[in-house]
């Protein structure tokens, strides 16, 4: 059994991960030798990925989340509900059913109810210093898309080039690679996306065909610099079902310490 102190460390890592994807600060100075797609092919492919993201207005997933890092391993039950514009509710419970924490994200407003610590964290817009806490974060639409099993296309991506027959790179205005996306051929699906400047890899697998297309039931995020790996394994996953706004309301429980976040969080 993992000691309580290590459980708290694991919970802190999971909260940090789910609120936003942590990113390293290295940069790729030179773009690789590439072979460009025909212009219309590249633009159509990127447009198709963006359209796939926009096809989902809401999603609900039930399954498990596995964390592996230097502190050890942790497996918990997971419930995620998302709705556009960017809203998400994440509930993590112990494998035997004890609630660990709940998180509600509404664009840049974040509330965290830590049941083990009996604390309620709340931050609003600019008062939550994400840059200092998480180094840098992806934009809310990208985070939402990954949780929904989609591949985000970063806003700074301006053109696409072919690296291999099943792999493209997205470049910014300075011809720096900001994303590398790999596809499978039969069926034509996205297998992984790599953010080289951030040293983050997202892999998608165990696809299931749905009315909105194929959705992955296994999402794996690898953070190279911190030697951490997160796996989201959906057992049940639905898209575009009605989700009431009340789902995204989170309040402190009686007796909980309320912490208004105006500086980086320091967990015990």
* Cα gap 98→76, rounded to integer Å: 10
Token pair for 226: 């911190």
| 24-33, 38-47, 62-71: least confidently modelled range | 24-33
Percentage of the residues of the chain whose pLDDT score is greater than 70: 74
Q: What does the pLDDT average to over 48-74?
A: 85
Token pair for 199: 């040293």
Q: What does the pLDDT average to over 227-241?
A: 89
Confidence of residue 157 (pLDDT cuts 50, 70, 90): confident
Confidence of residue 24 (pLDDT cuts 50, 70, 90): very low
Token pair for 30: 């030179």
Which bin fits 60, alpha (ψ -120 to 50), beta or left (φ > 0)?
Answer: beta
pLDDT, residue 49, reads 82
**Residue 189 and residue 45 in contact, taking contact as beta carbons nearer than 8 Å:** no
CA angle centred on 247, ends 7 and 245, rounded to 5° = 145
User: 């514009």: which residue's tokens?
Assistant: 85
Please indicate whether residue 104 or residue 107 has the higher confidence score (pLDDT): 104
Q: What does the pLDDT average to over 56-63?
A: 93
Confidence of residue 223 (pLDDT cuts 50, 70, 90): confident
Confidence of residue 134 (pLDDT cuts 50, 70, 90): very low
Predicted TM-score (pTM) of the model is 0.75
Q: What does the pLDDT average to over 78-82?
A: 93
Token pair for 182: 């790999």
Q: What does the pLDDT average to over 25-47?
A: 52
- Look up residue 7 and give its DSSP letter: H
pLDDT, residue 247, reads 94
Decide if pLDDT at 36 tops 60: no
**Domain 4-260: CATH architecture, name and number where available:** Clam (2.50)
């Amino acid at each position: 059994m993992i000691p309580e102190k290590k459980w708290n460390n694991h919970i802190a890592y999971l909260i940090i991960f789910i609120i936003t994807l942590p990113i390293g600060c290295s940069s790729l100075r030179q773009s690789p030798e590439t072979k460009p797609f025909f212009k219309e092919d590249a633009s159509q492919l990127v447009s198709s990925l963006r359209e796939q993201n926009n096809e989902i207005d809401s999603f609900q997933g039930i399954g498990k989340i596995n964390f592996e890092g230097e502190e050890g391993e942790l497996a918990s039950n997971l419930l995620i509900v998302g709705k556009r514009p960017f809203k998400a509710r994440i509930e993590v419970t112990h494998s035997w059913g004890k609630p660990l924490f709940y998180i509600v994200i509404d664009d840049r407003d974040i509330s965290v109810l830590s049941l083990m610590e009996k604390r309620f964290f709340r931050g609003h817009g600019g008062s939550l210093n994400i840059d200092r806490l998480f180094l840098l974060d992806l934009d809310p639409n990208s985070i939402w898309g990954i949780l929904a099993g989609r591949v985000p296309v970063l806003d700074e991506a301006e053109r696409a080039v072919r690296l291999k027959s099943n792999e493209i790179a997205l470049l910014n205005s300075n011809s720096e690679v900001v994303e590398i996306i790999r596809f499978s051929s039969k069926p034509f699906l996205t297998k992984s996306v790599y953010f080289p400047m951030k040293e983050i890899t997202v892999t998608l697998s165990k696809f299931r065909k749905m009315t909105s297309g194929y959705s992955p039931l296994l999402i794996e995020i690898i953070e190279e610099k911190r030697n951490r790996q997160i796996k989201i394994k959906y057992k049940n996953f639905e898209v575009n079902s009605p989700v009431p706004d009340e789902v995204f309301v989170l309040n402190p429980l009686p007796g909980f310490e309320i912490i208004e976040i105006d500086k980086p969080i320091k967990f015990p």
